Amino acid sequence: MSAAENGPRDVPKFLLITEAELFGAMDLDRAGLGKIKAAAEAKDWQRAGAEWGTHWASRKAPRYYVDGDAYANGVAEHLPHIKDIVVADADAIWDDDFQFSTYKPKREGRSFAWVDQFDDTAYIGFLYFFWMKNLGRAYVLTGDEKYAVMFLEIVCSLWDAAPGFGQARCGKYDPFSILWNNGLGSSLRCVLMMDSYWLMRGSPSFTPELHSKMLRLFLSHARYIHENHVKSYTHSNFQASECAWMVTAGVMLPELREAAAWRDVGVALTKERIRKNYDADGAQLEQCPQYHLTGMRDITRVLLVLHANGLDDISGDGELWRKLERIYDYPIRITHPTGHLGVINSGVYGTEAQAFFPVGVRLFGSDLHRWASKRYVRPGFVPVAKSLSQFTLFMDGDWAQTLADARAADAPPPTFTNDLMADSGLAVLRSGWDEQAFSLIFDLNRKPWGGHRYPGRLSFDLFAFGVPMVVNPGSTLSYSMPVYGKWCSQTIGHNTVMIDNRSHSDFTAEPVAWRDGKKAVFVAGRIKSQGFVYQRSIVSVTGEYVFIFDRLAGEKGKVPLAWLLHSPLALRQEEGS
């Protein structure tokens, strides 16, 4: 059924923007827009789109945080291995067997049939456009117009299809919320499209139709988010992405009269997020490293776009900036000797956090990040989590030069080894910072917030001699996979004590003791679950032994207990023990 048959009253107003409304939303009296104004006044929308394309390709300011030439030169000089990976990632979109997570989209030409009926939420994830992250980068690296043509077909077909999302289906989701996903899908999609739209702005393949539909997508999504999702602060990581788009659109599209309001609200809520969404020790409230990095991604986008245009809306606040540095320090503090983050709650054993270490040098001039860049970001580095990480988008020319400078520097390693993050509830026990060192991360999360928390308190993971020895479950490729609900997000998948064959009845823990000595460290935490008080104490004799003591007390009588330990290694119990 077409949008017209469905009835225009059923289609959100944001998806019905005409060309007249688009150009009417512009301040056409701005310098440099005279030809666009003349075309719009003549209602020659084809010419207006063409004139916008000329303006967009030649505009000197404002500018995006990535310069195409600097990106290509930086990759050629410092990251030659990345070129093939970026190009292959972009080329994968063309493959007939292209699939996003557990969803295989239907083809329409070189684009997709956007409106679908598919009950796996991977369909909604597909509409985030993560798969398009390297389209503009591949264009810059190769000069191949096929990437611009594909971008054109994606953008134009999406705008044409959007009013028909009333016919889409995904489980219990409202049809149009499949497209918007409460502002998350719409904001992520726009930020990724802006990256390609900027980097390919001089393409001869871009048409007036592309420019008109691209701007209408940007305007529609910005209006939708501004009207529905940024009226007040929320803890949700959705709003972090929404703010990233508000600031990106507000800075990059000043020709639109509404842009200043978008930027203002995006900056204000990002500042509030830094204050409220992170504990004093820098940990994000979800206590999930994967979503800590997601929050850093969105804040980094805001900062880089602002800084590229000489704006210090956030960096000019000294107290806020110092807290932000702690937020960027946090992943280094929970990185195992192999370069993998410790996994707590819905985390991932990936290397993508390393993409932020040179960013930390660039933003803060930090010796900690300079050391971490040299120590962990090795030649041939590719950021990976569940797949190729979207954080490749931060690996531009400036990133490459910062990494090269860090490798040439002599920054000292951290002065601490054992580390208690008492505000969020995490203890890290280390023998050192070298590749063969021992590290154990003990989960004492006080108040993990949101849907990515697990009943896995008092669990731990342990790495030593360059290998993972004890691991937590983390999360799967898609949250719709049965193993996610039955294993990953349950106590049984963790390295803790399961009581009465059930998952813990509470998500919170309480640190109760911490002693850091010269040769040993002692840490203890406590939870209440199923009517029992369960306390776990860990003693680490640095570089030699780890002793774990578990004590449970309750009044329920006898119940089954399971002492859980998960290792990728073959384990055996020594005779007599």
Contact 166, 11 (CB under 8 A): yes
Phi and psi, residue 546, nearest 5°: -130, 125
Contacts of range 58-61, beta carbons closer than 8 Å, 24 or more positions apart? 59/32, 61/309
Residue 432 located in a structural domain: yes
In-domain check, residue 265? no
Q: Which residues pair with 27 in a beta bridge?
A: none
Instruction: Output the domain CATH number for residue 459.
Output: 2.70.98.70
* Predicted pLDDT of residue 172: 92
Whether residue 549 is contained in a domain is answered as: yes
Predicted confidence at residue 7, as pLDDT, reads 42
Helix axes 318-333, 357-364, angle to 10 degrees: 160
Domain membership flag for residue 11: no
pLDDT of the residue at 577: 66
Q: Is residue 354 part of a domain?
A: no
Task: Report d(CA 291, CA 553) in Å as an integer.
Answer: 34
CB 507 within 8 A of CB 457: yes
> 511 - beta bridge partners?
525
Provide the domain limits for residue 536: 420-563
Residues 6+ positions from 157 with CB-CB distance below 8 Å: 108, 109, 111, 112, 114
The backbone torsions φ and ψ at residue 288, rounded to the nearest 5 degrees and listed phi first, read -130, 115
Q: Is the residue at 262 inside a domain?
A: no
* Digitized pLDDT (tens) for each residue of the chain, 577 residues in all: 333 344 444 899 999 999 999 999 999 999 999 999 999 999 999 999 999 999 999 999 999 999 999 999 999 999 999 999 999 999 999 888 899 989 999 998 889 999 999 999 999 999 999 999 999 999 999 999 999 999 999 999 999 999 999 999 999 999 999 999 999 999 999 999 999 999 999 999 999 999 999 999 999 999 999 999 999 999 999 999 999 999 999 999 999 999 999 999 999 999 999 999 999 999 999 999 999 999 999 999 999 999 999 999 999 999 999 999 999 999 999 999 999 999 999 889 999 999 999 999 999 999 999 999 999 999 999 999 988 899 999 999 899 999 999 999 999 999 999 999 999 999 999 999 999 999 999 999 998 888 889 999 999 999 999 999 999 999 988 788 889 899 999 999 999 999 999 999 999 999 999 999 989 999 999 999 999 999 999 999 988 899 999 999 998 788 999 999 999 999 888 887 6
Number of domains in the chain: 1
Residue 275 lies in a domain: no
In a domain, residue 520? The reply is yes
366: Cβ–Cβ under 8 A, 6 or more apart, which residues?
325, 328, 329, 360
The rounded distance, in Å, linking the Cα atoms of 533 and 38 is 75
Distance CA 84, CA 483 (A): 33
CB atoms within 10 A of CB 4: 10
**Tokens for 68?**
């195409």
